[in-house]
Structure 1
Amino acid sequence: MLTSPYKEFYEAIAAFIPKNRIYTDPLRLLAYGTDASVYRLTPQLVVDALDEAEIVQLMGVADRLRVPVTFRAAGTSLSGQAVTDSVLVRIGQGWKNWRVGEQAEKITLQPGIIGSGANKILAEFGKKIGPDPASIDSCFIGGIFANNASGMCCGTSDNSYKTVLSTRMVLSDGTLVDTADAKSRAAFAKTHGHILEGLKNLRKKIMDDAALADRIRRKFKIKNTTGYSINALVDYEDPFEILQHLMVGSEGTLGFIAEVTYRTVEEAPFKASALMLLPTITAACDLASAVATLPVSSAELMDRASLRSVEGTPGLPEGLDTLDDAVCSLLVETRASTKEELDKNIATINDAFKDVQFVRPHAFTDKAEEYSKLWLIRKGILASVGGMRPVGTSIVIEDVAFPLERLGEAAADLQALFARHGYTVAPLFGHARDGNLHFVFWQDFGSPTEVARYAAFMDDFCKLITEKYDGSLKAEHGTGRNVAPFVEMEWGAAAYSIMKSIKELLDPKSILNPGVLMNSDPQGHIKNLKPLYPADELVDKCMECGFCESVCPSRDLTLTPRQRITAYREICRLRETAPDSKELKKLEKQYEYMAKATCAADSLCRPRCPAGVDTGVFIKSLRKKDAGNLSNKIAGSIADHFAGTCRAMSLALTGVDKLHRALGSTFMENGSRLLRCITFNKAPLWNKDMPTGGSKIRLPETHSANPKRVVYFPSCIARNMGPGEEHTDRRTEPEAVISVLLKGGYDVILPKNLDKLCCGMAFASKGLSDAAHKKEKELEAALKEASNNGQYPVLCETSPCLLHMKQTLDPSLILMEPIEFILEKMDGCLKFTKLPKTIALHATCSVRKMGLEGKLEKLAKMCAENVIVPDGINCCGWAGDRGFTHPELNESALKGLRMQVSTCEVGYSSSRTCQIGLSLHSGIPYYSIVFLVDEASV
Structure 2
Amino acid sequence: MKLQNRPEDIAALAPAYQEYYHAIREQIPAARIICDPLRRFAYGVDASLYSITPQIVVQARSIDEVSFLVQEAGRRHIAVTFRAAGTSLCGQALTDSVLILATEGWQGYHIYDDGDRITLEPGIIGALANKYLAPYQRKIGPDPASIKHAMIGGIAANNASGMCCGTSDNSYKTVLDMKLVFADGSVLDTGSAASVQSWSEQHVPITRELTAIRDEIAADPELHHLIEHKFKIKNTTGYSLNAFVDYDDPIDILKHVIIGSEGTLALIAEITYRTVVEAKYKASALVFFPSLRESCRAVHDLTRPLVAAGELLDRVSLKSIEDWDGIPEVIRTLPDGAAAILIETRADDHDTLEQRIAETKEVVGKYDILYPIEFTEDPAVYGLYWQIRAGIFPAVGGVREIGTTVIIEDVAFPRDDLAEGVMALRQSMDDHGYGAGIIYGHVLDGNVHFVITQDFETDAGKAQYQKFIEDVCDLVATKFHGSLKAEHGTGRNMAPFVELEWGKKAYALMKRIKKAFDPETTLNPDVIITTNGLVFMEHIKSMKPVHEIVDRCIECGYCQVMCPSHLLTLSPRQRTAVQREMSRLRLTGENPALLKRFEEDYAYLGDETCAVDGLCQTTCPLSINTGMFTKELRHSHMTPARLHGAEKVAENFEATSRAVRVALSGANAAHTLIGTQLMKYLAEHTHTLTGKKLPLWNPRMPKAGHVPVQPEIKGGGRPQIVYFPSCTTRMMGPAKGDYDQRHLSAVMIDLCQRAGYDVIIPENIARYCCGMPFESEGIFEVADKLAKDLEGALLKTSHDGKLPILCDMSPCTYRMQHHMDERLHIYDTVEFLHDFIIDRLPIHQIDRTIMLHMTCSSVKMGLQKKFLDIAQRCVTKVVVPDKVTCCGFSGDKGFSIPELNQSALTHLNEAIPKDCDHGYSNSRTCEIGLSAKAGFPYQSIAYLVDECSR
* 2:944 aligned partner: 932
With over 3 angstroms needed to count, the CA separation of the structure-2 counterparts of 1:876 and 1:293, relative to structure 1, is closer
1:618 deviates by 0.2
The C-alpha deviation readout for 1:586-614, integer Å capped at 9, x for no partner, is 11000000000000011111121122221
Q: 1:265 aligns with which of 268, 276, 282?
A: 276
| d(CA) in 2 for partners of 1:699, 1:778 | 20
For residues 391-406 of structure 1, the aligned pairs below 5 Å read 391-406=402-417
Of residues 796, 800, 808, the one that matches 1:785 is 796
Q: Does 1:819 align with 2:850?
A: no
User: What's 2:438 paired with?
Assistant: 427
2:286 match: secondary structure: strand
- 1:699 Cα deviation after fit: 4.4
Q: Which residue of 1 aligns with 2:9?
A: none
> 1:649 offset after TM fit, Å?
0.5
Residue 294 of structure 1 and its aligned partner are, at CA, apart by 5.5
Find the aligned partners of 1:671 and 1:745 in 2 and give their Cα distance: 48
1:594, 1:570 → 2: CA distance? 15
- Output the CA distance in 2 between the equivalents of 1:694 and 1:310: 49
Q: Which residue of 1 aligns with 2:486?
A: 475
**Paired residue for 1:284?**
295
Paired position in structure 2 for 1:167: 178
SS of the residue corresponding to residue 59 of structure 1 reads helix
Structure 1 letter corresponding to 2:850 = I
Code of the residue aligned with 2:242 in structure 1: it is: N
C-alpha deviation, 1:660, in angstroms: 0.1
Which residue of 599, 613, 618 maps to 1:602?
Answer: 613
Please state how far the C-alpha of 1:354 moved relative to its aligned partner: 3.9
| 1:754 equivalent in alignment to 2:765 | yes
Q: Are the equivalent residues in 2 in contact too, given 1:837–1:905 (CA < 8 A)?
A: no
* Equivalent residues of 1:744, 1:829 under 8 A apart: yes
Which moves more between the two structures, 726-735 or 158-167?
A: 726-735
Determine helix, strand or coil for the equivalent of 1:905.
Answer: strand
How far off is 1:707 after superposition? 4.5
1:272-291 CA distances to partner (integer Å, 9 max, x unpaired)?
11110011111111111111
**1:827, CA displacement in angstroms?**
5.7
Matched ranges for 1:130-169 at <5 A: 130-169=141-180
* Match in the other structure for 2:739: 728
CA offsets per residue over residues 149-200 of structure 1, 9 Å max, x none?
Answer: 0000000000000000000001100000000001101101211112111110
2:935 maps to 1:923: yes
Q: Could you tell me which residue of structure 1 aligns to residue 352 of structure 2?
A: 341
**Contact 2:294–2:368, Cα closer than 8 Å, also in 1:** no
Q: CA distance change for structure 1 residues 294 and 232 in 2, over 3 Å: closer, same or farther?
A: closer
Contact persistence 1:706–1:747 (CA under 8 A) = no
Provide TM-score, normalisation by structure 1: 0.99
Task: State TM-score, norm by structure 2.
Answer: 0.98
Q: How does 1:119-518 map to 2 (within 5 A)?
A: 119-292=130-303, 295-518=306-529
Alignment equivalent of 1:551, drawn from 531, 542, 562? 562
- The residue identity in structure 1 corresponding to 2:288 is L
Quick check: 2:722–2:806 contact (8 Å CA) kept in 1?
Answer: yes
Deviation at 1:519, TM superposition (A): 1.5
2:718·2:756 contact (CA, 8 Å) conserved in 1? no
Q: What amino acid maps onto 2:552 in structure 1?
A: K
Residue among 29, 45, 61 paired with 1:50 = 61
* Pairing 1:801–2:812 present: yes
Q: What letter corresponds to residue 911 of structure 1 in structure 2? A: S
Separation in structure 2 between the aligned mates of residue 703 and residue 79 of structure 1, nearest angstrom: 68
Counterparts of 1:571-582 in structure 2, within 5 Å, are 571-578=582-589, 581-582=592-593
Shift of residue 472, structure 1, vs aligned partner: 0.2
Of 924, 928, 935, the match for 1:912: 924
Counterpart amino acid of 1:368? P
Q: Are the aligned partners of 2:361 and 2:373 in contact in 1 as well (CA < 8 Å)?
A: no
Contact 1:164 1:261 in 2 (8 A): yes
Q: In the alignment, which residue of structure 1 is the partner of 2:908?
A: 897
Q: Quick one: which amino acid aligns to residue 533 of structure 2?
A: P
Give the superposition deviation at 1:864.
0.4
- In the aligned structure 2, how far is the partner of 1:409 from the partner of 1:334? 26
Structure 2 distance, partners of 1:760, 1:392, is 35
Contact 2:394 2:554 in 1 (8 A): no
Unaligned ranges ≥5, structure 1 = none
Contact 2:318/2:331 (CA < 8 Å) preserved in 1?
A: yes
8 Å Cα contact 1:294-1:348 kept in structure 2 = no
CA distance in 2 between partners of 1:523 and 1:558 (Å): 34
- Whether 2:116 is the aligned partner of 1:109: answer no
**What letter is aligned with 2:48?**
S
Q: Distance in 1 between matches of 2:707 and 2:611?
A: 31
Any conservation in 1 of the 2:711–2:760 contact (CA below 8 Å)?
no
Aligned length: 938
CA distance in 1 between partners of 2:224 and 2:288 (Å) = 40
Following superposition, the deviation at residue 822 of structure 1 comes to 2.2
Q: Aligned partners of 2:825, 2:594: CA distance in 1, in Å?
A: 51
| Within-5 A mapping of 1:691-706 | 691-706=702-717
Contact conserved, 2:833 with 2:942, CA < 8 A, in 1? no
Counterpart residue identity of residue 928, structure 1:
S
Does the C-alpha gap of structure 1 residues 579 and 33 become closer, same or farther in structure 2, counting only changes over 3 Å? closer
Pairwise CA distance, 1:327: 1.0
- 5 Å-filtered alignment, 1:846-865, equals 846-865=857-876
- What SS does structure 2 have at the residue aligned with 1:213? helix
The DSSP-based 3-state class of the residue aligned with 2:15 is: coil
Structure 2 counterpart SS, 1:731: coil
Distance (Å, rounded) in 2 between the aligned partners of 1:919 and 1:340: 51
What are the superposed Cα offsets for residues 188-233 of structure 1, whole Å, 9 maximum, x if unpaired? 1211112111110110011110110111011001000000001101
The one-letter code matched in structure 2 to 1:905 is D
* Long gaps (5+) in structure 2: 1-11
Instruction: Give the whole-Å Cα distance in 1 for the aligned partners of 2:838 and 2:564.
Output: 35
Amino acid at match of 1:636: E
Three-state SS of the structure 1 residue aligned to 2:269 is: strand
For residues 209 and 916 of structure 1, the distance between their equivalents in structure 2, rounded to whole angstroms, comes to: 69
Partner Cα distance (1:82, 1:527) in 2: 15
The aligned amino acid for 1:784 is L
The alignment partner of 1:124 has SS state of helix
Give the drift of 1:580: 7.6
- Give the alignment partner of residue 873 of structure 1, picking from 869, 884, 898: 884
Query: Which of 618, 628, 647 in structure 2 is aligned with 1:636?
Result: 647
Report the Cα distance in structure 2 between the residues aligned to 1:331 and 1:128, rounded to whole angstroms.
22
Contact 2:122 2:269 in 1 (8 A): yes
Alignment partner of 1:319: what SS?
Answer: helix
Alignment correspondent of 2:7: none
CA distance in 2, matches of 1:63, 1:190: 21
Identical residues among aligned pairs (%): 46
How far residue 508 of structure 1 moved from its aligned partner, in angstroms, is 0.2
Q: CA deviation at 1:269?
A: 2.6
Residue 560 in structure 1 maps to residue 549 in structure 2: no
> Separation in 1 of the partners of 2:305 and 2:200?
46
CA contact (8 A) 2:631 2:777 kept: yes
